[in-house]
Amino acid sequence: MEISGNTVFIPGATSGIGLALALALRDKGNTVIVGGRRAELLERIAAEHPGVDTVRIDTTDPASIAAAANEVLARHPNLNVLVTMAGIMRVEDWRKPESFLASAESVITTNLLGPIRLIAAFIQHLTEQPDATIVTVSSGLAFAPLKVTPSYNASKAAIHMLSESIRLQLADTSVRVVELEPPSVRTALLPGQEDSEFAMPLEEFVAEVVALLEAQPDAREIQVERVKFLRYGEARGDYDQVVATLNASDPHGK
């Protein structure tokens, strides 16, 4: 993915990593469209950040995804980058079904079905572009589990393998697949995470991501240094230590 000259749609970008990345990509010379559920947040973003377009979308609703895709493509026929950013994280107790079942279904619907439906809505258009990119968003927790968030961990592990698989299928097209793998970042993903000393400051994370995208336009995975502890535990042979350290130090990590 080239760092500038793109038209980028980022659903799930009204706050946190999504919004920060959207603004950073705009500043690098891209046309950026932010998607989200709440009209008031979209209006505020449009007012505060001239040049950023917005569209209402609920990535848990197939009809909303279809309508948003039509709206985005009508206004931005040169769209060539889709970032499947929307995601939720829930603390669950899997010893009690009343504690986890509804939560797990919600997490999987948002974090896995959402990206699948988004890709389905845009893939034909993207394959018709001379140079296009799908950016999936997994997590360091795709590679080492946080005890209190089983469904989130599973959804992100699924996103990792989905990314690996569709990259193979799309190898003969103009569409690249890039997997963004955040560590714990100071956002509102979980209560208390915005102030967690174990989480990476949001500005530092996005700056490093943009620098990596710029330096490695052919990268398959975007990994800031802080996520590599989780990403490569099995390869290094210290997976058990990684899991123990993760669960001892950061009860609200991403």
Point out the residues that are catalytic: 152
Which residues does 159 contact at the CB level (< 8 Å), separation at least 6? 111, 112, 115, 136, 137, 138, 142, 179
Q: Are 114 and 62 in contact (CB under 8 A)?
A: no
Q: How many CB atoms lie within 10 A of CB 54?
A: 22
E strand or H helix that includes residue 84: strand 81-84
**Starting at the edge strand that comes first in sequence, how are the strands of the sheet with 31-36 ordered?**
53-56, 31-36, 7-11, 81-84, 132-137, 175-180, 221-222
Exposed (0-12), middle (13-18) or buried (19+): which is 103, by Cβ within 10 Å?
buried
Measured in residues, the chain has a length of 254
